[in-house]
Amino acid sequence: MLFLIHSVHRLGAQGAATQWPVNDKPRGLSVNAAHNLLVACPFVRKIKEFSSHGNLLRELTLPDDVIKPWHAIQTRSGQFLVCHGDDNDTVNRVWKMSKDGRQVVLSHGGKRGSDIGQYRRPISLAVDDSEFVFVADFGNRRVTLLSPTLGYIRQVVCSDDLKWDPFKLCLDAQRRRLYVAENEHKDGNFIAGRVVLFSV
């Protein structure tokens, strides 16, 4: 019998590695203002918060209509930004949720699609100091910029700027640089990838 242990691995500044179990399939990771780790677990609709040493501090079970939450970021005010939905899901959105993760405060997106205001697997988020939100739209091969109230502003990266599909985002807010990890996938597997840098 095969047992899979889904874990977070932590690499210290001196190279020492530790790990701790998540007990669900982890996807997106982020660090909040308290230096705790937030782990999105899409297949159980949860956000798990761990201390930097791997102690589980709390689990937030998201509402039933949050299907496959890929990534979550906690804002300075304590609210959560969550992107969710997959190619097989009717609804693909970005939500701003209350501090307890139970109530939707704002949303962007809806029915899955390729038009402005629609997504096909919004998979990763980045937020600047003013709480403008960058959304990696995996299926549409683009990155969208939203206002702090989740209003559409513009596409900051379009499909012509990328070779493959955007998978992860990292923002250097001080230098206004957006790092986009893009991957080529075939038959459900990632077979190539690279990081592309954009000035935003």
pLDDT at 4: 53
The average pLDDT across 17-28 equals: 92
130-155: b (≥16 Cβ within 10 Å) or e: ebbbbbbbbbbbbbbbbeeebeeeee
Does 197 fall in a domain?
A: no
Its domain, for residue 14, covers: 7-160
pLDDT grade, residue 3 (50/70/90)? very low
Residue 141, token pair as written in the block: 């091969």
Q: What is the CATH number of the domain that holds 148?
A: 2.120.10.30
Does 154 fall in a domain?
A: yes
pLDDT at 24: 93
Does 198 fall in a domain?
A: no
pLDDT at 5: 64
| Burial of residue 76 (number of CB atoms within 10 Å: 0-12, 13-18, 19+) | exposed
Does 101 fall in a domain?
A: yes
Does 13 fall in a domain?
A: yes
Does 17 fall in a domain?
A: yes
The structure's pTM equals 0.92
pLDDT at 2: 42
Question: By the 8 A CB rule, do 35 and 65 touch?
Answer: no
pLDDT grade, residue 181 (50/70/90)? very high
Does 1 fall in a domain?
A: no
pLDDT at 191: 86
- Cα radius of gyration rounded to whole Å, the chain: 16
| 179 pLDDT above the threshold of 70 | yes
Question: Across all residues in the chain, what is the average pLDDT?
Answer: 92
Does 178 fall in a domain?
A: no
pLDDT grade, residue 36 (50/70/90)? very high
pLDDT in tens, 68-121: 999 999 998 899 999 999 988 999 999 999 998 888 999 999 999 999 999 999
**Domain total of the chain:** 1
